[in-house]
Amino acid sequence: MRASFLKNNRGALFVGALLALQVAGSRASVDDAHSFALQAAEPYVKQGYQVREDYWGGDLGVGEKKAVRQQLFKGNEYWFWMGTEVEQAKISVHVYDSDGKIAEQPDSWQKGHFAASHLIPKTTGSYFIIVAVDSSPEERTHWALVYGFK
Amino acid sequence: MRFFFNTILVGSCLLGFCRAEAVTVETPKRIDVKRLSRTVEDVVVPLPNEIFGALNKLDEVNWKEFVRSNNNTNFTERPRIALLLGTEIADGFIAVQAEDAPTVKEIGQRVVYLAKGIGVGNSIVPHAKAITEAADQRNWQEVRQELDRTQNSVQEAMNEVHDEKLSQLVSLGGWLRGTQVLTAVVNRHFSADGAELLHQPDLLEYFQRKLANMPEFTVPILGQIRSSLVEVKPLIDVEKPISAASVKKINQITSGLDEQIVTRRK
State pLDDT tens for residues A19-55.
444 544 555 589 999 999 999 999 999 999 999 999 9
How big is chain B by its Cα radius of gyration, in Å?
A: 20
User: What stretch of H or E contains A69?
Assistant: strand A65-72
Say whether residue A54 is in contact with chain B using an 8 A CB cutoff.
yes
Beta-carbon count within 10 A of B103 CB: 22
Beta carbons of A71 and A128 less than 8 angstroms apart: no
pLDDT for residue B14 is more than 70 = no
A106 and chain B: CB distance < 8 Å anywhere? no
Please compute the mean of the pLDDT values over residues B50-59 and round it to a whole number. Answer: 92
| CA–CA gap between residue A111 and residue A100 (Å, rounded) | 24
Please provide the average confidence, as pLDDT, over all residues in chain B: 87
What three-state secondary structure class fits B263? coil
**pLDDT > 80? residue B10:** no
Question: Rounded to the nearest 5°, which phi and psi values hold at A144?
Answer: -145, 150
Which pLDDT score, from 0 to 100, does residue A20 have?
Answer: 47
- In chain B, residues with a C-beta closer than 8 Å to the C-beta of A134 are 25
Contacts of A90 (CB under 8 A, 6+ apart): A110, A112, A113, A133, A134, A135, A136, B25
HSE-CB at B38 with a 13 A cutoff on CA atoms is: 3
Q: Please, what's the largest Cα pairwise distance for chain A?
A: 55
Burial A107-129, CB ≥16 within 10 A → b, else e: ebbbbbbbbbbbbebeebbbbbb
> ipTM of this predicted complex?
0.86
Q: Which of B7, B40, B144 sits opposite A39 (nearest CB)?
A: B7
Question: Rounded to a whole number, what is the distance in Å from the CA of B32 to chain A's nearest CA?
Answer: 6
Whole-number mean pLDDT of chain A? 86
CA A117 to CA A79: how far, in whole Å? 6
Amino acid at B135: A
Cα–Cα distance for residue pair B6/B2, rounded to 1 Å: 7
The CA–CA distances, whole Å, from B35 to A65, A67, A94 equal 13, 10, 17
Please tell me if residue A136 touches chain B, with a CB cutoff of 8 Å: no
Distances (CA, A) of B67 to A142, B56, B198: 42, 16, 21
- Select from B198, B250, B114 the least CA-distant residue to A75: B198
Average pLDDT over every residue of B169-198: 96
What integer is the mean pLDDT of A75-98? 97
Dihedral angle of Cα B54, B167, B1, B137, to the nearest 10 degrees? 60
Residues in A touching B45 (Cβ below 8 Å): 54
Measured between CA atoms, the residue of chain A closest to residue B17 is A111
Strands A125-135 and A65-72: antiparallel
Task: Tell me the Cα Rg of chain A.
Answer: 16
Q: Could you give the CA distance from residue A72 to residue A93 in angstroms, rounded to a whole number?
A: 16
pLDDT at B24 over 70: no
Q: So what's the pLDDT on residue A28?
A: 57
pLDDT band at B38 (very low <50, low <70, confident <90, very high): low
Of the listed ranges A19-23, A106-110, B1-5, B172-176, the one predicted with least confidence: B1-5
Lowest mean pLDDT: which of A72-81, B21-30, B135-144, B173-182? B21-30
Q: Which amino acid is at A17?
A: A
How many C-beta neighbours within 10 Å does residue A21 have?
11
B37 — pLDDT class (breaks 50, 70, 90):
low
Q: Say if residue B261's pLDDT is above 90.
A: yes
pLDDT of residue B42: 65
pTM of the predicted protein model: 0.86
pLDDT for res B75: 87
Whether A126 contacts chain B with CB within 8 A: yes
Residue of chain A minimizing CA distance to B8: A39
Write the pLDDT tens digit of every residue in B166-182. Answer: 999 999 999 999 999 99
**Are A102 and A96 a contacting pair, CB within 8 Å?**
yes
Q: Average of pLDDT values for B44-57?
A: 93
Q: Which residue of B has its CA nearest to A94?
A: B27
% residues pLDDT > 90 (chain A): 80
For B47-82, give one letter per residue: b (16+ CB within 10 A) or e.
bbbbbbbbbeebeebebeebbbbebeeebeebbbbb
**pLDDT tens sequence across B80-131:** 999 999 999 999 999 999 999 999 999 999 999 999 999 898 888 999 999 9
